[in-house]
Amino acid sequence: MSRIFNFNAGPAALPLEVLQEVQAELLDFAGTGMSILEISHRSPAFEKVLQEAKEDIKDLLDLPDDYGIFFMAGGGSLQFSCVPFNFLTEGKVAAYADTGSFSDKAFQEAEKVGKAVKVFSSKPQGYDRVPRPEEVALPDNCAYLHITGNNTIEGTEYFTYPETGDVPLIADMSSEILSRPFPVEKFSLIYSGAQKNIGPAGTVLVIARKDFVAGRDKNLPVMMNYETMLDKDSLYNTPPVFAIYIVGKVAKWLKKQGGLAAMEAVNRQKAALIYNLLDTYPEFYKGRAAKESRSIMNVTFNLPTKELEAKFVEEGKKRGLGGLKGHRSVGGIRASIYNAMPLEGCEALARFMEDFHQNNK
Amino acid sequence: MSRIFNFNAGPAALPLEVLQEVQAELLDFAGTGMSILEISHRSPAFEKVLQEAKEDIKDLLDLPDDYGIFFMAGGGSLQFSCVPFNFLTEGKVAAYADTGSFSDKAFQEAEKVGKAVKVFSSKPQGYDRVPRPEEVALPDNCAYLHITGNNTIEGTEYFTYPETGDVPLIADMSSEILSRPFPVEKFSLIYSGAQKNIGPAGTVLVIARKDFVAGRDKNLPVMMNYETMLDKDSLYNTPPVFAIYIVGKVAKWLKKQGGLAAMEAVNRQKAALIYNLLDTYPEFYKGRAAKESRSIMNVTFNLPTKELEAKFVEEGKKRGLGGLKGHRSVGGIRASIYNAMPLEGCEALARFMEDFHQNNK
CA distance B43 to chain A (A): 9
Query: Which whole number is the average pLDDT over B114-139?
Result: 97
Size of chain B, expressed as the number of residues it contains? 361
Indicate the pTM of the whole model.
0.97
d(CA B180, CA A329): 43
CA distance B38 to chain A (A): 5
Give the residue from A29, A36, A38, A324 with the most B CB atoms within 10 Å of its CB, the best one to mutate: A38
Contact (CB, 8 A) for B289 and B332: no
CA distance B134 to chain A (A): 32
The answer, yes or no, to whether residue A125 has pLDDT greater than 90, is yes
3-class state of residue B222 by DSSP: helix
- Residue A261: CB atoms within 10 Å: 9
Name every residue whose Cβ is closer than 8 Å to that of residue A208 and which is 6 or more positions away in sequence.
Answer: A67, A68, A70, A188, A189, A190, A226, A230
Query: Which whole number is the average pLDDT over A45-52?
Result: 98
Q: Closest Cα partner for B178 from B296, B60, B272, B58?
A: B60
- Strand duo A333-336 + A298-302: pairing: antiparallel
* Ordered DSSP codes for A288-325: -S-GGGB-SSEEEEE-SSHHHHHHHHHHHHHTTEE--B
Residues forming beta bridges with residue B325, ordered by sequence position: B333
Per-chain mean pLDDT for chain A: 97
Query: Which whole number is the average pLDDT over B83-88?
Result: 98
What is the pLDDT, as a whole number, of residue A2? 76
Q: Closest Cα partner for A23 from A42, A3, A40?
A: A3
The answer, yes or no, to whether residue B127 has pLDDT greater than 70, is yes
**What tens digit of pLDDT does each residue of B267-281 get?**
999 999 999 999 999
d(CA A28, CA A109): 42
Size of chain A, expressed as the number of residues it contains? 361
Name every residue whose Cβ is closer than 8 Å to that of residue B48 and which is 6 or more positions away in sequence.
Answer: B30
Name every residue whose Cβ is closer than 8 Å to that of residue A345 and which is 6 or more positions away in sequence.
Answer: A5, A7, A270, A321, A337
The answer, yes or no, to whether residue B2 has pLDDT greater than 80, is no
d(CA B335, CA A62): 44
Rounded to the nearest angstrom, the gap between the alpha carbon of residue A274 and the centroid of all alpha carbons in its chain is 20
Nearest to A77 among B27, B28, B236 (CB): B236
* Contact between chains at B243 and A242 (C-beta distance less than 8 A): yes
Query: Which whole number is the average pLDDT over A15-25?
Result: 97
Please list every residue in chain B whose beta carbon sits closer than 8 Å to the beta carbon of residue A221: 78, 81, 85, 109, 112, 224
Query: Which whole number is the average pLDDT over A36-53?
Result: 96
Rounded to the nearest angstrom, the gap between the alpha carbon of residue A59 and the centroid of all alpha carbons in its chain is 19
ipTM exceeds 0.90: yes
Q: Closest Cα partner for A73 from B15, B187, B201?
A: B201
DSSP, res A5: E
Label residue B297 by pLDDT band (50, 70, 90).
very high
Please list every residue in chain A whose beta carbon sits closer than 8 Å to the beta carbon of residue B223: 74-75, 77-78, 81
Name every residue whose Cβ is closer than 8 Å to that of residue B6 and which is 6 or more positions away in sequence.
Answer: A33, A34, A38, B12, B13, B322, B323, B341
Name every residue whose Cβ is closer than 8 Å to that of residue B111 and which is 6 or more positions away in sequence.
Answer: none
Query: Which whole number is the average pLDDT over B44-73?
Result: 98
d(CA B234, CA B83): 17
What is the pLDDT, as a whole number, of residue A1? 47
Element (H, E) at A144: strand A142-148
Angle at A270 between CA A269 and CA A272, to 5 degrees: 65
DSSP, res B220: S
**What tens digit of pLDDT does each residue of A205-233 get?**
999 999 999 999 999 999 999 999 999 99
Contact (CB, 8 A) for B259 and B265: no
- Residue A20: CB atoms within 10 Å: 12
d(CA B294, CA B176): 13
Q: Closest Cα partner for A340 from A299, A297, A301?
A: A297
d(CA B116, CA B137): 14
Nearest to A201 among B26, B224, B239 (CB): B239
Name the closest residue on chain B to residue A247, using Cα atoms: B37
d(CA A355, CA A360): 9
pLDDT > 70: percent of chain B: 100
Per-chain mean pLDDT for chain B: 97
**What tens digit of pLDDT does each residue of B20-40 get?**
999 999 999 999 999 999 999
* Contact between chains at B78 and A80 (C-beta distance less than 8 A): no
- Residue B29: CB atoms within 10 Å: 20
The answer, yes or no, to whether residue B10 has pLDDT greater than 70, is yes
Strands (E), B82-218: 93-98, 115-121, 142-148, 150-151, 156-157, 169-172, 189-193, 204-209
- Strand duo B169-172 + B189-193: pairing: parallel
The answer, yes or no, to whether residue B292 has pLDDT greater than 90, is yes
Residues forming beta bridges with residue A227, ordered by sequence position: none
Rounded to the nearest angstrom, the gap between the alpha carbon of residue A290 and the centroid of all alpha carbons in its chain is 20
User: What does the longest C-alpha to C-alpha distance in chain A come to?
Assistant: 63
Contact (CB, 8 A) for B15 and B200: no
Query: Which whole number is the average pLDDT over A268-279?
Result: 98
Across the A/B interface, how many CB contacts are shorter than 8 Å?
A: 211
pLDDT > 90: percent of chain B: 99
Phi, psi of A177 (to 5 degrees): -55, 140
**What tens digit of pLDDT does each residue of A77-118 get?**
999 999 999 999 999 999 999 999 999 999 999 999 999 999
Query: Which whole number is the average pLDDT over A178-189?
Result: 98
**What tens digit of pLDDT does each residue of B139-190 get?**
999 999 999 999 999 999 999 999 999 999 999 999 999 999 999 999 999 9
- Expressed in angstroms, the distance from the first to the final Cα of chain A is 35
Residues forming beta bridges with residue B72, ordered by sequence position: B204
Nearest to A202 among B8, B40, B242 (CB): B242
Name every residue whose Cβ is closer than 8 Å to that of residue A310 and which is 6 or more positions away in sequence.
Answer: none
The answer, yes or no, to whether residue B258 has pLDDT greater than 80, is yes
Name the closest residue on chain B to residue A38, using Cα atoms: B12
The answer, yes or no, to whether residue A350 has pLDDT greater than 90, is yes
- Edge-first strand listing for the sheet containing A286-287: A286-287, A298-302, A333-336
The answer, yes or no, to whether residue B1 has pLDDT greater than 70, is no
Name every residue whose Cβ is closer than 8 Å to that of residue B53 and which is 6 or more positions away in sequence.
Answer: B244, B245, B247, B248, B251
Name the closest residue on chain A to residue B73, using Cα atoms: A74
Nearest to B35 among A10, A19, A81 (CB): A19
What is the pLDDT, as a whole number, of residue B136? 97
Alpha carbons within 13 angstroms on the beta-carbon side of residue A134 total 0
Give the residue from A4, A40, A79 with the most B CB atoms within 10 Å of its CB, the best one to mutate: A40
Q: Helix H segments across chain B?
A: 16-24, 44-61, 75-87, 101-113, 210-213, 226-231, 241-256, 259-280, 306-318, 343-360
